[in-house]
Amino acid sequence: MAKIRVLLAEDHVVVREGTRELVQHEPDMEVVGEASDGEEAVQLAGKVRPDVVIMDIAMPKLNGIEATKQIKELYPATAVLILTAYDDDQYVFALLEAGAAGYLLKNVRGRELIDATRAVCAGESVLHPVIARKVIERFISAGKPEEKRIAEPLSERELEVLKQAARGISNKDIAEELSLSVRTVQAHLGNIFNKLGVGSRTEAVLYALKKGWISLEDLP
């Protein structure tokens, strides 16, 4: 089985070294690059093509928000997981808009970071449902959903899966809710990502909200 390729983008050496040791300890992961600023993160993302970038926000030359935006524009299949000390709503909102698949604070346990890395690599969101809803509400209040001028590119079943994903629940819970296998849910999510040109559940949900395919009534 291929290992999850991880790129670390963190300007504090001690934090970066600690994260590297944590990731390298996992048999299914490997650190393929380390960046000490945002510009280097974008450059390395093109060179080493990681599956996941673990990204800080406050970095020299290019901050995490702009670096995330550029990486997602250039390499949409790469998942970006934010690991930061900042929990301001404005950062969460800006980073999701930029394409981040997850947002963690630096006080999380090592196991949570590892689990989150696997989750975003599999296309899952690692936002707490309460935070996800708050961010989505702000996203919607920023502008009305676009009119549906063309047919939705998703099948009825794919839209059902995406609505469940918008609730912030796991693939396993989605499978139980819709009486499907986890493998089938993963296949549907993969099709959704390909159709929408996104790389994570979070991006797919925000895309659907913007298009008006999902409303707040679909969320818990």
pLDDT in tens, 175-218: 998 999 988 988 998 888 888 888 777 778 878 877 878 776 66
Are the beta carbons of 70 and 37 closer than 8 angstroms? no
The pLDDT score that the predictor gives to residue 147 is 47
Tokens 């998942």 map to which residue?
79
Helix (H) or strand (E) holding 55: strand 52-55
Closest CA to 138 of 127, 126, 147, 154: 127
CATH 1.10.10.10 range(s) for the chain read 145-218
Q: Within 13 Å, how many C-alpha atoms sit on residue 114's CB side?
A: 15
Pairing of strands 79-84, 52-55: parallel
CATH 3.40.50.2300 range(s) for the chain read 4-121
Each residue's pLDDT tens digit, 79-129: 999 998 887 777 887 888 888 988 888 888 888 899 889 888 987 777 755
Taking the C-alpha atoms of residue 158 and residue 144, their distance in angstroms, rounded to an integer, is 23
Are the beta carbons of 77 and 53 closer than 8 angstroms? no
CATH number for the domain whose boundaries are 145-218 = 1.10.10.10
Longest dimension (CA), the chain: 51
CATH fold group of domain 4-121: Rossmann fold (3.40.50)
**Tokens coding 100:** 């981040």
The pLDDT score that the predictor gives to residue 129 is 54
